Structure formats: structure tokens, C-alpha cells
Amino acid sequence: MSSEVTEPGTGPTGAAPTLSEVAKRAGVSSITVSRVVRMPDLVAPETRARVEQAMRDLGYIPNLVAGALASARTNSVGVLVPTIANSIFADTVQGLSDKLEPLGFSVILAQSRYDASREDRMLAALLSRRPEAIIMVGSPATEEGTRLLRNARIPIVETWDLPANPIDAVAGFDNYKAGVAVAKHLVAQGRKQLAFIGGDDPRGTRRWFGFRDEALASGLAEPRRLILDRKDSGSVAAHARLPDVDAVFAANDAHAIGFMFGLRKAGLLRDGPASAQPVAVIGLGDLEMGRLISPTLSTISVHGDAIGRTAATLTLERGGERRIDLGFELVLRDSG
């Protein structure tokens, strides 16, 4: 049982030590070392100790690339998000990776940046790494992307929405209904001139449709829709472009807070309850920040991390319900 430590990580060639180098040092065959790494119970205690010592001596780190090729299991999951620099998707990635990492799965992360052709390229790039599942925010923007995923023969989880024809599994909520719920609430509050601010990505657009349809169904004029680019800054000035509006649904809390800031400057924000607000504001996402500002932000609360954890679960289990509606909640505070 040698405990002499050679220059670690350095085989004869200066390359990382391999299974068979460990095997030679421990005086066993490669497969025994492999078993010590993966199924230690199958190896006699003394042999195991000898192998473990050899691994330590050499600073052996298993090569999962080779292991994956031999076993046809990569223990990895591909994750595609529009952007990670959006706390709401970051929560989802955190949720799923907290669930997957302890099980030995790695997360391969890719961003589409809301660009359909980049999305297709990233999807192909992910698939070429042979992940055991793919979790994405939303659904593929193109036919090509859909085709790629349908042919991949691995679990696919679409999140943050409830597509009518999912590729495989779904963990999300109904964005249309969220828009409806907000409009309903604003109408009940007696608001007359509604507006929607946010991006024109698929989910934002679905919220818009729900919002508009419900407003129209309630006999209001068609709400205005202001499409903002991804940078929040536009939201601050948004009010100037929406005169006479008395209620706004912002596609996310950051836009909502920016808009409120614009209202504050215009003297149209009260520290009182919703009923006192000249202009009602409802956000989506339920950022911590919304609870901290004044007036506190009313919002559609969505559990991004739960979406991630649920998606991870759908990834691991092939049977059972493949369409999970995690719902949303209209959280009413002081802004509207």
C-alpha cells in the first residue's frame, strides 16, 4: 500500500493519468478500477483500498468523455434560455441545476438571445454533445428547431409556457390567462384606458393577447401596446408615450418598476393603496424588489425556480404526467 505521491496529475507523458495507469499501479485490471469508481460495492475491500490509494497517488480524475462514449450515457442535460442575465430565467436554471447536479448530471448552458437562427444553431450544438435531455424556455422558434428536437429521441421539456402541441413534456403556466387575469382585475377596479408594455417575444405576446381580449370582452377600447426593447430604460419614459392611460400591465417587474419611476417623476404615483393610484401598474415575475419599493408592486407571481425543478423532474422520469401547469398568482399590493 504505497503512499508515495508522485508528481500529481503527471503520467509518464505529462498527460492526465488514465484508468489503466491506475490499474497498473494498483496491480489490477482496468475494469476493477472502473468498478471502484462506479460500483465500489462489487470490489473487495482490500482491493478497493489499494485502487483508491493508486488513484490518490496519481491524482486520477475519471474521463467522463470516454466513459460517455463507451456507455452511451453522458450524464448531461442541455439547457437553452433566451438569456441568462434575466433573473427570472436564472431562477429556473438554478432550480433545475440544484436538482440535477447532486445526481451527477452536468448542465450545458446555451443562450438564444431571442434570435431564432442562433436558437437553431445552439440546439444543434447541444444535441451534438448528446445530452440525455433538453430543457428550454419556450418552444423552438422554427420548424427546423422543432424537427431537431423531435428526432432527438430524448426527453424535451418546454418551460414558461403551455404550448398546444408540445414536443414532449411541459412545465409552465398559461401566459394568455395571466393577461386575462390582469385585465379582469383592472376592469373590476374601474380602470378604463389600459395599456401593455413589454417585449414581443412569444410569451409576452401571449400575455398581450389575453390582456387585450379580456379588455375588449369587457367593453373597453383596445388597450395600447408599447413594445420595448430588452433594456429597461425605455420603460421610464414610457408614460410620456401613453397619455390618458389609467392602468398598465408590464410584461415583467423590471419594466413595471421603471414605469413607476416615470410616474413618480410625473407626480402620478401615491404612497397610498391601489385605489388611490391615478395609474395602476401590474408587473409579472414577483421580484423581491417589488416588495421593497413604494408603493409596493402588484404583480403576477411566477415561481421560476419551481419551473426549473419541475422540468428537471420531467427530465428524469419518462412516465407520468408530461404537462405540468404550475400556475401563477395575482399578488395585489399597492400599485394597482
Partner DNA sequence: TTGTTTCATGTTAGCGCTAACATGAGGCGA
Partner DNA sequence: TCGCCTCATGTTAGCGCTAACATGAAACAA
The residues that touch DNA, with contacts defined as CB under 7 A, are 15-16, 18-20, 27-32, 34-35, 37-38, 42-44, 46-48, 62-63, 66-67, 69-73
Identify the residue among 24, 224, 261, 327 touching its own copies (CB under 8 A).
261
> Per CB under 8 A, does 289 bind its own copies?
yes
Nearer to its own copies, 44 or 72 (CB): 72
The Cα-based distances of 118 to 38, 98, 125, 228 in angstroms read 37, 27, 10, 21
> Per CB under 8 A, does 330 bind its own copies?
no
Q: Is 3 exposed, middle or buried (0-12, 13-18, 19+ CB in 10 A)?
A: exposed
Q: Which of residues 39-58 bind its own copies (CB under 8 A)?
A: none
DSSP per position, 209-270: HHHHHHHHHTTPPPPEEEE--SSTHHHHHGGGGSTT--EEEESSHHHHHHHHHHHHHTT---
Q: Which of 328, 264, 266 is nearest to 293 (CA)?
A: 264
Minimum distance of DNA from residue 54's CB (angstroms): 12
Q: Is 95 exposed, middle or buried (0-12, 13-18, 19+ CB in 10 A)?
A: buried
Instruction: List the helix and strand counts (H, then E) for the chain.
Output: 13, 12
Identify the residue among 49, 90, 316, 332 touching its own copies (CB under 8 A).
90
Answer with the entry of its own copies, DNA, none that 236 interacts with (C-beta below 5 to 8 A by kind): its own copies
Nearer to DNA, 46 or 288 (CB): 46
Minimum distance of its own copies from residue 27's CB (angstroms): 24
Does a cis peptide bond (omega within 30 degrees of 0) precede residue 140?
Answer: no
Name the amino acid, one letter, at 64.
L
Minimum distance of its own copies from residue 132's CB (angstroms): 12
Residues forming contacts to its own copies in the complex (CB under 8 A) are: 8-10, 16, 59, 61-66, 68-69, 74, 76, 79, 83-87, 90-91, 93-94, 97-98, 101, 104, 106-111, 113, 122, 124-130, 147-148, 151-153, 232-233, 236, 254, 257-258, 260-261, 264, 288-289, 292-294, 305
